[in-house]
DNA sequence: AATTCTGTTGCGGGTTCCCGCAACTGGACT
DNA sequence: AGTCCAGTTGCGGGAACCCGCAACAGAATT
């Protein structure tokens, strides 16, 4: 069995290689790639069936790399290993994971034992394994209170690009007023609303649009990697076409 | 000599303690704190004269912790050790470093040798030492092209809070129109401007306000920690007073 | 079939935003 | 003094934004 490790932090990579050798004696070959692009190329070159993938990397983040790998070989087993229990990352992953393929998500704060367990469960046994911490986040995301449904999320991303309501409406094939309704529920769910007890908030209310974006970043609903991807996507799709 | 290490990533902390013991044999006591708040308390308790500080930590970030420590003991020598060459962090640091106190900034990507060198230079010799990578950023920040002048930065932070022009004007003691001028230069420096070749950008231009905020996050001019601090500050100052 | 609910859409108005134009200030250089 | 220049401020208008109100459709419930 051949395992590919994609991780740009040298200390984490060393630790990971160590645990990997320890936990999975049946591994015949371990390759280490130091960024997403290299990981993609290496996965193709070595025909990796199992990958351990960091999410936050300089050149090309783990989600984009995983999507590319899965596009070629949907059966590849990928264990994501990350610092952050970031909603934006989670949303990104659940969006790209193919049907019937094994994957996992372990936080870097997990113990060595739990990491070993996850490595075996996902890479060898082909199970799905998600860190309990993450799973809690997934619950919360699915709960009605602060949940962002997919269409709301799409509007949020367009908002982050700075698009105005009309353009969002066109891109999402909705009417202007509907987009504005989505924005209203976004504001509510992100906790963007004037405090009735604060006179300043009432007389000159805050700009909800930027406030919402700000809160989306702070709460981890949105992150920089997501926005960058969206921007690239917009440059390609939104402008050359149409 | 007593050294305090404030670092919440266990692997990095272990590595750091190892290098520290190796590089500085004259150290009599090494204490490790796992987050900013604990670091602050520990610095006070052990009368630390030298600190190695991570920037990005869960509970309380390194900048706030450093400010608290320096407020009590301005002579404390602090070496910041961080993953990111983030403009927002750099700006935060240069804002709080006292006159005549030693500090340093080393990236986690630096070699073991360079880290040892920095440890000795800052903690023992009391020099100022900034990673070349960071220094380049500082240059760029100081260069006229993309530089954000302090007052512009203040306006950017207020914008991130969602304040409208009028309120920013009040907080900064400026006229409305001047704030708008600051915003104009912000837009320019953050690269927020319609592309004349793109018909979509011309007919329905993007919302500059949110676009600028978005770019500020992507370029690292602003980060989540900064916005959170600003929000706390606003809740306290902007509303109870006035 | 009647009804409630949820999501979508149009309309209209009050507000903020973006920014061109013009005037004024204070400092720097000739 | 004269002149230039960068920074600040007022004015005004067109566009976008926020959102209450109301109508309508389809799905679910009774």
What would the mean pLDDT of A161-176 be, rounded to a whole number?
A: 91
* pLDDT the model gives residue B242: 40
Instruction: Spell out a b/e string for B128-167, using b for 16 or more CB atoms within 10 Å of the CB, else e.
Output: ebbbeebeebbeebeeeeeebeeebbbbbbbbbbbbbbeb
* pLDDT the model gives residue A59: 80
The answer, yes or no, to whether residue B55 has pLDDT greater than 60, is: yes
Q: Which residues touch strand D (CB under 7 A)?
A: A 164-166, 177, 180, 183-184, 187, 205, 207-209; B 151, 174-178, 181-182, 204-205, 207
Q: DSSP string of A38-79?
A: HHHHHHHHHT-SEEEEES--SSS-HHHHHHHHHHH-TT-EEE
* pLDDT the model gives residue B196: 66
DSSP code for A97: P
The residue ranges of every structural domain in chain B are: 2-141, 150-240
Q: Is the dihedral of CA B201, B204, B208, B209 positive or negative?
A: negative
Contact A169, B123 (CB under 8 A): no
Mean pLDDT lowest among A57-61, A236-240, B45-49, B129-133? A236-240
* pLDDT the model gives residue B132: 74
DSSP code for A192: -
The Cα B239–Cα B62 span in angstroms is 27
Residues 6+ apart with CB under 8 A from B80: B53, B54, B55, B62, B66, B93, B103, B104, B105, B106
* pLDDT the model gives residue A207: 93
What would the mean pLDDT of A48-73 be, rounded to a whole number?
A: 90
* pLDDT the model gives residue A91: 78
The answer, yes or no, to whether residue B33 has pLDDT greater than 50, is: yes
| B98 touching A (Cβ < 8 Å) | no
User: Helix or strand or coil: residue A242?
Assistant: coil
Q: What is the mean pLDDT of chain A?
A: 85
Assign domain A2-141 one CATH number from 3.40.50.1820, 3.30.300.30, 3.40.50.2300, 3.40.50.1370: 3.40.50.2300
Task: Say which of B10, B205, B213 has its CB closest to residue A210.
Answer: B213
The Cα A77–Cα A36 span in angstroms is 16
Chain B window 199-218: residues with CB closer than 7 Å to nucleic chain C are 205, 207-209
Mean pLDDT lowest among A153-167, B51-65, B88-102, B202-216? B88-102
Could A198 and B160 be called an inter-chain contact, meaning their C-beta atoms sit closer than 8 Å? no
Q: Is the dihedral of CA A177, A182, A187, A188 positive or negative?
A: positive
The answer, yes or no, to whether residue A15 has pLDDT greater than 90, is: yes
Q: B-contacting residues of A 170-229, CB under 8 Å?
A: 192, 198, 200-201, 204-214, 217-218, 224, 227-228
Q: What is the mean pLDDT of chain B?
A: 85
Task: Domain B150-240: give its CATH architecture.
Answer: Orthogonal Bundle (1.10)
The answer, yes or no, to whether residue A240 has pLDDT greater than 60, is: no
Which residue in B115, B96, B3 sits closest to B48, CA to CA?
B3
The Cα B84–Cα A209 span in angstroms is 28
Token pair 């630390």 is found at B48
CA distance B78 to chain A (A): 23
- CA–CA distances in Å: residue A172 to residues A98, A178, B10: 24, 10, 44
* pLDDT the model gives residue B15: 93
The answer, yes or no, to whether residue A143 has pLDDT greater than 60, is: no
Q: Count the Cβ atoms, other than its own, within 10 Å of residue B199.
A: 11
What would the mean pLDDT of B154-160 be, rounded to a whole number?
A: 93
The answer, yes or no, to whether residue A22 has pLDDT greater than 50, is: yes
CB pairs A-B closer than 8 Å: 97
* pLDDT the model gives residue A238: 56
Res. B78 pLDDT band, cuts 50 70 90? very high
């Amino acid at each position: 069995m051949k395992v590919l490790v994609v991780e740009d932090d040298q200390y984490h990579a060393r630790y990971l290689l160590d645990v990997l050798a320890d936990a999975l004696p049946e591994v015949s070959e371990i390759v280490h790639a130091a960024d997403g692009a290299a990981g993609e190329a290496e996965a193709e070159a070595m025909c990796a069936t199992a990958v351990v993938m960091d999410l936050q990397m300089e050149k090309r983040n783990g989600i984009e790399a995983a999507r590319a790998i899965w596009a070629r070989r949907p059966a590849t087993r990928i264990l994501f290993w990350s610092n952050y229990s970031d909603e934006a990352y989670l949303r990104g992953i659940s969006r790209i994971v193919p049907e019937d393929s094994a994957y996992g998500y372990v936080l870097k704060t997990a113990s060595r034992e739990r990491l070993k367990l996850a490595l075996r469960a996902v890479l060898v046994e082909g199970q799905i394994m998600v860190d309990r911490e993450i799973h809690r986040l997934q619950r919360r995301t699915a709960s009605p209170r602060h949940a962002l449904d997919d269409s709301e999320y799409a509007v949020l991303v367009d908002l982050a690009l700075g698009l105005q309501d009309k353009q969002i409406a066109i891109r999402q094939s909705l009417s202007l007023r509907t987009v504005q309704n989505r924005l209203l529920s976004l504001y509510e769910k992100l906790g963007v609303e004037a405090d009735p007890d604060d006179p300043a908030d009432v007389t000159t209310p805050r700009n909800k649009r930027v406030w919402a974006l700000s809160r989306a970043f702070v709460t981890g609903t949105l992150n920089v990697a997501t926005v960058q991807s969206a921007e690239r996507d917009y440059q390609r799709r939104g402008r050359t076409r149409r």
